[in-house]
């Protein structure tokens, strides 16, 4: 009988310990499997000294919603314009969310049409059917801002980015936007015979929001020409509201691990790590700082 009681207590202790460890684990919400966010988050997890769970998602908008509504989610990859758009709706957001690490990556805005299309620039989207992603995705926010800032009146087709290519091939849309750090794996996996092309994106009205960039010819096997576009700064953010002492220690350690392994991730991880930069004067958002512990 004593052995049975002891065994029961032991199993309860193991269960409680496992539960505490599960609740205390860092969880990073990333992006669609196969997209840049997901691979970057996976690289961070692989190079962490602690358990880090990578959670796939539809994109930046869903990431923000999960970060703010789910207490199990601590950290999220996010487009800067998504953060800014939500700040307009919540004036207290800067007290709730911080930029986790002074590490920035640009996500290039891809505008894609069929090869041979008469759409050769942004203005020629007027009156066309344009895929802008689903409402859970950062691409939706970016495309909506571009439409608003430029005044170009196209027909929004709200479908997930993962479905836009097939919709284009079926003739259901004329073009689509996709925001992702080059090289986007799903585009990189396409053969040189793929019947799509990138379109130049140029507009003075976008310069106050996005960084001017080029996507060089040959970035993708099917891409024949260098195109002008813009890029959205990508951030890694942490929710500090109600952050427990235990989780704060884990977040601090994650910062140490990222900093210590940047060069390794640049050489062995996703190619986008090579484009990391540490200062961005256009980012108007407070940083997360490691607080010194008083013994």
227-247 residue pLDDT tens: 999 999 889 999 999 999 999
Tens of pLDDT, residue by residue over 71-130, are: 899 999 999 999 989 998 998 999 999 998 767 888 899 999 999 999 999 999 999 999
Measured CA to CA, the distance from residue 104 to residue 232 in angstroms comes to 10
The per-residue pLDDT for 16 is 33
The whole-model pTM stands at 0.77
What residues pair up with 231 in beta bridges, in sequence order? 108, 211
Burial of 245 (0-12, 13-18, 19+ CB in 10 A): exposed
Residue with the larger pLDDT of the pair 9 and 133: 133
CA 119 to chain centre: 28
Residue identified by tokens 């097939």 is 166
The per-residue pLDDT for 4 is 41
Q: Where are the domains positioned within the chain?
A: 2-105+235-275, 106-233
Q: What is the CATH number of domain 2-105+235-275?
A: 3.40.190.10
Residue 7 pLDDT greater than 60, yes or no: no
Measured CA to CA, the distance from residue 42 to residue 19 in angstroms comes to 23
The per-residue pLDDT for 293 is 45
Residue identified by tokens 């991730």 is 265
Q: Is 172 helix (H, G, I), strand (E, B) or coil?
A: coil
The per-residue pLDDT for 5 is 38
2-105+235-275 with 106-233: one CATH topology?
Answer: yes
Cβ atoms of residues 58 and 44 within 8 Å:
no
Please, which residues have CB within 8 angstroms of residue 148's CB and are 6 or more apart in sequence? none
Residue 19 pLDDT greater than 90, yes or no: no
Report the share of the chain in percent with pLDDT over 70: 89
The per-residue pLDDT for 295 is 37
Tokens representing residue 119 in the block: 């759409």
Tell me what the pLDDT averaged over the chain comes to: 88
Please, which residues have CB within 8 angstroms of residue 162's CB and are 6 or more apart in sequence? 32, 186
Domain 106-233, what fold? D-Maltodextrin-Binding Protein; domain 2 (3.40.190)
């Amino acid at each position: 009988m004593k052995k049975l009681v002891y065994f029961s207590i032991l199993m309860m202790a193991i269960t409680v310990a496992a539960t505490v460890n599960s609740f205390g684990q860092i969880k990073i919400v990333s992006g669609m499997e196969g997209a840049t966010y997901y691979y970057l988050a996976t690289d961070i997890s692989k190079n962490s000294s602690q358990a880090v769970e990578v959670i796939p998602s539809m994109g930046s908008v869903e990431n923000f919603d999960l970060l703010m509504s789910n207490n199990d989610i601590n950290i999220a990859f996010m487009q800067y314009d998504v953060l800014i758009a939500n700040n307009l709706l919540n004036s207290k957001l800067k007290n709730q969310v911080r930029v986790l690490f002074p590490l920035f990556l640009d996500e290039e805005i891809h505008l894609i049409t069929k090869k041979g299309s008469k759409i050769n620039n942004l203005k020629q989207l007027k009156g066309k059917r344009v895929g802008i992603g689903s409402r859970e995705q950062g691409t939706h926010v970016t495309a909506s801002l571009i439409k608003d800032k430029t005044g170009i009146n196209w027909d929004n087709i709200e479908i997930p980015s993962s479905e836009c290519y097939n919709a284009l091939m079926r003739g259901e849309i004329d073009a689509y936007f996709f925001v992702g750090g080059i090289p986007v794996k799903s585009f990189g996996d396409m053969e040189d015979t793929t019947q799509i092309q990138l379109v130049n994106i140029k507009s003075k009205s976008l310069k106050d929001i996005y960084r001017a960039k080029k996507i060089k010819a040959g970035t993708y096997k099917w891409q024949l020409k260098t195109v002008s576009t813009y890029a959205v700064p990508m951030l890694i953010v942490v929710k500090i509201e109600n952050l427990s002492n235990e989780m704060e220690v884990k977040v601090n350690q994650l910062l140490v691990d990222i900093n210590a392994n940047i060069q390794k991730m640049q050489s062995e991880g996703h190619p986008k790590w090579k484009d990391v930069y540490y200062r961005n004067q256009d980012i108007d958002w407070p940083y997360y700082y490691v607080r010194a512990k008083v013994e």
